[in-house]
Amino acid sequence: MLGEAPARKSAYPINRGPKPLFPQGEAMTLHQAPTARSRKSILNDIVVKAGPADVLGPYFLHVELETRRRGVVLEFCTPEDLLAANEANRQSWMPLVPMFNPRYGVIKADNAFCVIGRNAMGEPVTANSIIKYDWSETNFVQEATSLRLFYSDPMTMRQSGEQCIISSTRAHCIRGTAAFSGAAWVRQDYRGLGLSALLPRFIKAYAAARWDLDVIFGMMAEAVVRHGFARQFGYDQLDWEARWLNSIVGERLRLAILWTDVDYLVTDLRVVLAGETAQVDSRILGRHS
């Protein structure tokens, strides 16, 4: 766990050269939902450069099987595809937070991964994304309060009166090579199927497979935290608060700051694969609430 300590690299080294997790074509011999048989498996596109393949591989397979059983087929997509899916589904999906919208210059093909889940008709029904930041000389608090977390050019891109005020005393430890997980969405008619327990962990696991990370973090609205999604999304650390004012997604948002490291992520995935729900000390997640 990170706690008050500085963020640190995972104990799992970068592998010597990227390699496909499954040989080309093998993934399609796996269980496939009847409504999704003709769709390519995302496993064919997964490449592992870092992290423990003995855990990541089985977890990717687990997610592939479980999403297909729910009639959803996952695929990697571009930031532009993510934005198009968002704009086509505003009835159940708020506007993308600026860092996930390519119009604001943060998310790019070389610093992010985006995953869309489609149903048998090819409609987007789920989405997740993750962005890598290089904060070797800075940290989350400095980047959030300056709005560089959200915009490539905050002075020209910010909303009128926009501010992000951080009162957390612990969030300074989010630094180094940091990955922000967000843009999570499940269409209303696919909610209640357990997808929100699978897909946020999937995007974090894939980030850990591709990048040598110090920390994985996110921000979560107060009401969402109260429903237990911090645990469900695979975080073991939480602190309050960020107040984001006059943003494109709301005038006054109170947000929790969540984070974890790759070592905890791997432990969490092992527990998931063992068929259990990760048990996180409620005193940690409730601290300073």
pLDDT in tens, 233-258: 889 999 999 999 999 988 999 999 99
- Strands 175-186 vs 215-221: parallel, antiparallel or unpaired: parallel
CA pair distance 42, 76, nearest whole angstrom: 7
Fold of 19-286: Aminopeptidase (3.40.630)
Return mean pLDDT, the chain: 86
Assess contact for 147 and 158: CB atoms under 8 A.
yes
Please give the full DSSP string across 86-105, using - where no structure is assigned: HHTTTTTSPPPPGGGSGGGS
- Looking at per-residue pLDDT, the higher value among 276 and 155 belongs to 155
Confidence of residue 150 (pLDDT cuts 50, 70, 90): very high
Contact status, residue 131 vs residue 179, Cβ threshold 8 Å: yes
Q: Provide the whole-model pTM.
A: 0.84
Average pLDDT over residues 222-229: 86
What's residue 282's pLDDT?
Answer: 41
Give the three-state DSSP class for 262: helix
Does residue 33 register a pLDDT over 50?
no
Exposure string of 218-253, with b = 16+ CB inside 10 Å and e = fewer, is bbbbeeebeeebbbbbbbbbbbbbbebeebbeeeeb
Domain boundaries, the chain: 19-286
Does the pLDDT value for residue 12 go beyond 60?
no
**Amino acid at site 159:** Q
Kindly tell me if the per-residue pLDDT of 216 is higher than 60: yes
